[in-house]
Amino acid sequence: MTDAVSDNSAASPSLNILAQYVKDFSFENPGAPRSLQARDKAPAINISVNVNANPLSETDFDVILSLNAEAKDGDKMLFNAELAYGGVFRVTGFPQEHMLPVLFIECPRLLFPFARQIISDATRNGGFPPLMIDPIDFAQMFSQRMAEEQVKAKVQAN
CA of residue 42 relative to chain centroid, distance:
25
**Is residue 6 very low, low, confident or very high in pLDDT (cuts 50, 70, 90)?**
very low
Residue 153 is predicted with a pLDDT of 82
Lowest-confidence segment of 2-6, 40-44, 51-55, 152-156 by average pLDDT:
2-6
Positive or negative: CA dihedral 102, 108, 113, 114: positive
Specify the DSSP element, H or E, that contains 155.
helix 138-157
Q: What is d(CA 140, CA 49) in angstroms, rounded to the nearest whole number?
A: 12
For the chain, the domains span: 12-128
Quote the pTM value.
Answer: 0.86
Number of DSSP helices (H) and strands (E) in the chain, helices first: 4, 4
pLDDT digits (tens, 9 = 90+) for 103-112: 999 999 999 9
pLDDT digits (tens, 9 = 90+) for 125-144: 999 999 999 999 999 999 99
**Is residue 10 very low, low, confident or very high in pLDDT (cuts 50, 70, 90)?**
low
Q: Is the pLDDT reported for residue 33 higher than 90?
A: no
Q: What is the pLDDT of the chain when averaged over all its residues?
A: 91
Q: Is the pLDDT reported for residue 1 higher than 50?
A: no
Considering the domain delimited by 12-128, tell me its CATH architecture. Answer: Roll (3.10)
Residue 9 is predicted with a pLDDT of 46
